[in-house]
């Protein structure tokens, strides 16, 4: 019989399984604490659980860990990038960043991505599958263990499109914020999407306290469709309508991500169009100087991004240029995984 992935289950779900097996339901709370608070991933070490129940747990459940395949540490700013190997041999990336207020972690939600954004390395390596809730969660728990810290913020901005893995991502959000477990306020979580409109409505209706980041990257449909194929399905008008609904329903401000790219989206005219699009919307614009990806020719400079920010500010739009972290450790997301897959394939090993 295949074992159940316990790290993907809520405390109630564990309780229900125990109840069905004739065990005491309330034991679930104890076990859940071992897993999510004490971070003990071996049933034999759960000392206040009877030997008999521990035996049952071992037969019924598995705790899927991730393996550090590669770890790169920045000598400039303490950013650490992990390449994790999943139980089935696939790879995902996780980045730990240090700020003055604490640590923030960037996690992946899928192995690869279907969205095909032209400037993104994750798209180049192709899509394999979505991550389980436990696989998103364990990126955090294992990174915290490895680094000996607790993160104060989480961004769902690694490999993958979170809203294309809606069920597992929202389950992950429940697990990470559960007051009987890890208990992190969702106010410290940002979820980034390329703009899957129906899912933005669905997320809004859940009224979570997280920050929604929307990857806009271009203020008009023609240009956006060229760099982000998702725009052909959900255009800017539909996207902005969903964003307005999100803000109205949740009372939360949205962050718009905008990768500044020379000769593509950063002219005076682009700034004017962007300002017109966002006028009156409770939002913030986060400008990211586009990261170079080997296979693509997109580029910019930090000063070009700063100049674009100035243009926006003159037009009354709040914008900041995102700090570049870990610039010495193979920056853009998805590049480590792509290289690891290439290597695995060359060796005839696992991978895509």
Number of chain residues interacting with ligand SAH (CB under 6 A):
17
Question: Is 268 assigned a catalytic role?
Answer: no
Work out whether 218 is an interface residue with ligand SAH (CB under 6 A).
no
The residues in 230-259 that bind ligand SAH, with binding defined as CB under 6 A, are 257, 259
Work out whether 93 is an interface residue with ligand SAH (CB under 6 A).
no
Work out whether 274 is an interface residue with ligand SAH (CB under 6 A).
no
Work out whether 9 is an interface residue with ligand SAH (CB under 6 A).
no
Residue 212: beta bridge partners? 191
Q: Which of 321, 170, 161, 278 is nearest to 229 (CA)?
A: 161
Least CB distance to ligand SAH at residue 89 (A): 23
Q: Which of 74, 215, 250, 265 binds ligand SAH (CB under 6 A)?
A: 215
Using CA atoms, how far residue 102 sits from 151, 185, 188, 234, in Å, is: 7, 15, 11, 36
DSSP string, 3-37: PEEGGGS-HHHHHHHHHHTTS-TTHHHHHHHHHHT
Work out whether 95 is an interface residue with ligand SAH (CB under 6 A).
no
Least CB distance to ligand SAH at residue 172 (A): 14
Give 281 or 332: the residue with its C-beta nearer to ligand SAH: 332
CA distance 330 to 82: 11
Number of residues that this document lists for the chain = 352
Sole window of 25-33, 187-195, 245-253, 306-314 interacting with ligand SAH (rule: CB under 6 A): 187-195
Least CB distance to ligand SAH at residue 300 (A): 9
CA distance 161 to 139: 16
Least CB distance to ligand SAH at residue 195 (A): 8
Q: Which of 291, 321, 329, 335 binds ligand SAH (CB under 6 A)?
A: 291
Work out whether 344 is an interface residue with ligand SAH (CB under 6 A).
no
The residues in 45-64 that bind ligand SAH, with binding defined as CB under 6 A, are none
Parallel, antiparallel or unpaired: strands 91-99 and 80-85: antiparallel
Question: Is 295 assigned a catalytic role?
Answer: no
Catalytic residue (one of 11, 113, 283, 333)? 333
Q: Over the Cα atoms of the chain, what is R_g?
A: 21
| H helix or E strand, kind and range, residue 91 | strand 91-99
CA distance 74 to 80: 6
Q: Which of 161, 236, 250, 270 binds ligand SAH (CB under 6 A)?
A: 161
Work out whether 23 is an interface residue with ligand SAH (CB under 6 A).
no
Parallel, antiparallel or unpaired: strands 91-99 and 102-106: antiparallel
CA distance 315 to 50: 66
CA distance 59 to 101: 42
Residues annotated catalytic, as ranges: 93, 333
* Binding interface with ligand SAH (CB under 6 A): 115, 117, 119-120, 157, 161, 192-194, 215, 257, 259, 288, 290-291, 293, 332
């Amino acid at each position: 019989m295949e074992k159940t992935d316990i790290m993907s289950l809520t405390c109630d779900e564990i309780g229900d399984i125990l109840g069905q097996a004739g065990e005491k339901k309330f034991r679930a709370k104890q076990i859940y604490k071992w897993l999510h608070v004490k971070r003990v991933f071996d049933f034999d070490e759960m000392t206040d659980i009877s030997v008999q129940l521990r035996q049952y747990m071992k037969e019924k459940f598995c705790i899927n860990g991730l393996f550090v395949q590669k770890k790169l540490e920045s000598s400039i700013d303490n950013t650490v990038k992990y390449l994790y190997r999943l139980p089935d041999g696939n790879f995902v990336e996780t980045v730990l960043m240090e700020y003055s207020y604490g640590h923030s972690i960037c996690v992946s939600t899928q192995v690869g991505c279907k969205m095909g954004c032209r400037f993104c390395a994750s798209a180049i390596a192709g899509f394999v599958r979505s991550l389980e809730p436990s696989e998103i969660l364990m990126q955090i728990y294992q990174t915290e263990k490895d680094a000996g810290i607790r993160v104060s913020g989480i961004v769902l901005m690694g490999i993958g499109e979170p809203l294309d893995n809606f069920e597992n991502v929202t389950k992950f959000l429940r697990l990470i914020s559960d007051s009987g477990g890890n208990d992190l306020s969702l106010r410290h979580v940002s979820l980034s999407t390329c703009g899957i409109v129906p899912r933005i409505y669905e997320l809004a209706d859940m009224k979570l306290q997280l920050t929604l980041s929307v990857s806009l990257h271009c203020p008009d449909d023609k240009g956006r469709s060229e760099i982000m194929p998702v725009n052909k399905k959900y255009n800017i008008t539909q996207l902005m309508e969903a964003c307005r609904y999100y803000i109205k329903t949740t009372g939360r401000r949205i962050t718009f991500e905008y990768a500044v790219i020379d000769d593509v989206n950063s002219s005076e005219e682009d700034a004017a169009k962007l300002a017109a699009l966002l006028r009156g919307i409770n939002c913030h614009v986060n400008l990211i100087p586009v990261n170079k990806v080997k296979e693509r020719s997109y580029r910019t400079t930090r000063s070009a991004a700063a100049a674009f920010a100035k243009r926006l500010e003159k037009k009354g739009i709040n914008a900041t240029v995102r700090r570049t972290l870990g610039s010495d450790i193979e920056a853009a997301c998805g590049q480590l995984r792509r290289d690891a897959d290439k290597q695995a394939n060359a060796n005839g090993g696992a991978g895509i």
